[in-house]
Structure 1
């Protein structure tokens, strides 16, 4: 994603841009969105996430690429309809909720007037299985929601730009639109300078010498014996030929008196996991946070990239042990079979969209703090007949992959719904962005937590964070080993969240 370094507008330029948008809104007729780009000096997008107002919040950082995004507010929102059970993008692409969301986004972009290098994005995500929320935990997260932030910050390397958007209705007063635009530009420019302050970088309030420190209470959603029996049940279904693989997830809830510092948590995660995509997607007091190791799919300049990530092991306690455990992961027939199934499914899912997918013959190791995975990156060009495709067409084809659901897809999803007992919501779901050309990038919300902060000033003010982790169950899986894998994954967020 290259930054567009357009010239910042002067007052006369802003006035002309507003007048032009008002004229278009009156002539069409129909609402327009005016997007204005401007450079910012020395600005960390996480500062904008912390300080800008707005019901909708979005953060995205890939430290190894030097790319950060942050958005607050929603000048335009597109929500997906619930997905019908058994619906597959290959069978009815035009009626798939994610594809229809992509079409609605393309239509909305036709109503945008972008000046001075503005590059508005729709940002957001979709639910794991596209169904309406089953519990109150996910009440702020519909089957899918993509928004254009009122203020979007984008940093690439040392360069940062803001895209500021205002809605222009037919008959709008140009002076009022200009005032609203100027106020948002001023808000964006106020973020220049120093990074997070001491308060913003905290995860929980610090105690004074006379006070007790932060307390946490942790509750699991089911006992270990119950999880192990569920693994046995999945293995029995595999033996009966009902499924080839399923993914069994579990959660634990962390209760905290007071409020979790979401910004401080994100700051910790990006320091701990620079090779993951650290993201947050929130509404009101509820925020989904993840340090995702898994790219679902990206589309840029006709090139499609994706990655198969399946097969896991712990990291060693010494370099020698780490190498030994990594080699054992590579040589495990069970882990190889699980990984190859994901590769096959990705190739099949993209067969109608992409020419030959290029990738290594054997998976490599992707290593993170505490855990390592088998990884196969794949890359290919869109077929000429698919030149106008949107990233959301590809998301609909791939999600959910066998890495987060199982095989065959619909049978595995049915098994999960009948046996897991967990409302996944947006856990293991695609989170990302799409631009006016249909290009974009989506990652899966793995190593994730749903933080539900108590409203400011509420008594007793107990906040919660629900952490999620899953393990792939295939022939040869051992219940205790799969339980241990979920514990490794939960620890990735539990430790920094509770600052232990």
Structure 2
């Protein structure tokens, strides 16, 4: 971005668009969304996160091969509650878009996430994360393929000063030019143990109880998760993202701040994407480890493909997605057999799924229909959720729930927030789960959760080590 060009080129468009939005707000007697976007010179959104992190401003960092963005500050938060949270957000988003004043190449957009289970156990460390929290970010820095943009959004109110607002946004845009100088963090807090952490024996006992319920016909599958804590110290979220980026370039990276907590992860699983009406999702269930030896790695992958237990678990997910998409879409494409999705430490059975969204439906309708899939909840859904509430003994919060973005043109993308940790007051709460069917073995399932936890454990340990080496 050319700093010298900002005062004339960018300030003028900001002022004009905000003035029109304020005028519209005065005519309608209610706030009006203003969205102003610009092309910018290449910049790494993670660098902006490193420079802007202040441990209080809400944000969402999102990184994939095709799209990376850092959405900072909250012009407006759209909330929803209980089982109606998806519908409530959609209704408010529709009203907000109706009178929006938009300038530039990008449509307005929301970003954020949802709670896994609005009726599940609640714990203090998740209190800043609502049942549904999608925010209209003040400034979003976007890298999409080879294009770079910045999007400024504001909820214009009657009587506001357009020039003062434009000047504030202009200052934020010029701040993008500054090199990242991460802020000093406060001293390390005392470690606090999570009361929901179980010993291996306790957790395997819960797995055995769930499997017994499956064998008795209570439900076909359930996913049980567990959490463990790790002292975090002075490490910043952007430093952990750096480590995840080095180790898991095949995953979708995210960091979402609410209050004094940041939810961070490297998820292998997309829940659903909508691009120009095309629905893209996949079934991801069935897990085995990787090996550094090529022949052994191939053997492990083939054994997963040949596993009756894992194929059954995977088929439940495929059929549940098929049933959820059928009323909302057409031209549904589902391959007959799964592929292998190979990650750094583990590999999964993976079936890509595509469809065309029917007119009148949007991505939030898809989230409501799909979440939680049997891959993270179980099957049938209601019975499996009841088992989770009874046995897990912890608050999942936003773990294994939808997290992502949507825009004013009907596009959007939400992942399943897996391989994740909640960072709060010097403590990291790590989460991992596994799918149980009638022939699941508790010791094997515990080992699977250890493999899944290792991705975040390694990133945290590396970030802590790097921070201590620099201090």
TM-score, L = length of structure 2? 0.91
Aligned to 2:330, the other structure's residue is in SS state coil
Match of 2:165 in 1: 180
- More helix, by proportion: 2
Q: Distance in 2 between matches of 1:498 and 1:110?
A: 47
State yes or no: 1:234 paired with 2:210: yes
CA contact (8 A) 2:221 2:437 kept: yes
Using the TM superposition, give the Cα deviation of residue 37 of structure 1 relative to its aligned residue in structure 2, in angstroms.
Answer: 1.1
State yes or no: 1:367 paired with 2:342: yes
Aligned to 2:217, the other structure's residue is in SS state coil
CA contact (8 A) 1:164 1:181 kept: no
Q: Distance in 2 between matches of 1:379 and 1:218?
A: 43
Match of 1:88 in 2: none
Match of 1:41 in 2: 41
Match of 1:480 in 2: 443
1:191-210 residue pairs with structure 2 within 5 A? 191-192=176-177, 196=180
Using the TM superposition, give the Cα deviation of residue 16 of structure 1 relative to its aligned residue in structure 2, in angstroms.
Answer: 3.0
Q: What RMSD over aligned residues (CA atoms) do the two structures have, in Å? A: 2.3
Q: Distance in 2 between matches of 1:477 and 1:57?
A: 39
Using the TM superposition, give the Cα deviation of residue 112 of structure 1 relative to its aligned residue in structure 2, in angstroms.
Answer: 2.0
Aligned to 2:376, the other structure's residue is in SS state coil
State yes or no: 1:280 paired with 2:286: no
Using the TM superposition, give the Cα deviation of residue 204 of structure 1 relative to its aligned residue in structure 2, in angstroms.
Answer: 11
Q: Judge which range, 359-368 or 344-353, deviates more.
A: 359-368
With over 3 angstroms needed to count, the CA separation of the structure-2 counterparts of 1:245 and 1:215, relative to structure 1, is: same
Note the alpha carbon deviations across 1:158-213, whole angstroms, 9 max, x for none. Answer: 3211111223211223xxx322222223322322375x55x57x9999xxxxxxx9
With over 3 angstroms needed to count, the CA separation of the structure-2 counterparts of 1:37 and 1:476, relative to structure 1, is: same
Of 123, 129, 135, the residue aligned with 2:117 is 129
Aligned to 1:237, the other structure's residue is in SS state helix
Note the alpha carbon deviations across 1:120-174, whole angstroms, 9 max, x for none. Answer: 210000000134771101010011100010001110133211111223211223x
Using the TM superposition, give the Cα deviation of residue 216 of structure 1 relative to its aligned residue in structure 2, in angstroms.
Answer: 8.4
Match of 1:116 in 2: 104
Of 380, 385, 402, the residue aligned with 1:430 is 402
State yes or no: 1:30 paired with 2:30: yes
Using the TM superposition, give the Cα deviation of residue 218 of structure 1 relative to its aligned residue in structure 2, in angstroms.
Answer: 8.3
With over 3 angstroms needed to count, the CA separation of the structure-2 counterparts of 1:204 and 1:178, relative to structure 1, is: closer
With over 3 angstroms needed to count, the CA separation of the structure-2 counterparts of 1:418 and 1:17, relative to structure 1, is: same
TM-score, L = length of structure 1? 0.86
Q: What stretches of structure 2 of length at least 5 have no aligned partner?
A: 1-7, 466-471
Aligned to 1:74, the other structure's residue is in SS state strand
Q: How many residues align?
A: 453
State yes or no: 1:16 paired with 2:1: no
Q: Distance in 1 between matches of 2:444 and 2:45?
A: 39
Match of 1:290 in 2: 265
CA contact (8 A) 2:120 2:389 kept: no
Q: Distance in 1 between matches of 2:246 and 2:361?
A: 35
Q: What stretches of structure 1 of length at least 5 have no aligned partner?
A: 1-7, 84-95, 206-212, 454-462
Match of 2:458 in 1: 495
With over 3 angstroms needed to count, the CA separation of the structure-2 counterparts of 1:481 and 1:399, relative to structure 1, is: same
Aligned to 2:291, the other structure's residue is in SS state coil
CA contact (8 A) 1:118 1:163 kept: yes
Q: Distance in 2 between matches of 1:82 and 1:335?
A: 32
Using the TM superposition, give the Cα deviation of residue 73 of structure 1 relative to its aligned residue in structure 2, in angstroms.
Answer: 0.8
Of 418, 425, 433, the residue aligned with 1:446 is 418
1:254-269 residue pairs with structure 2 within 5 A? 254-256=230-232, 258-269=233-244
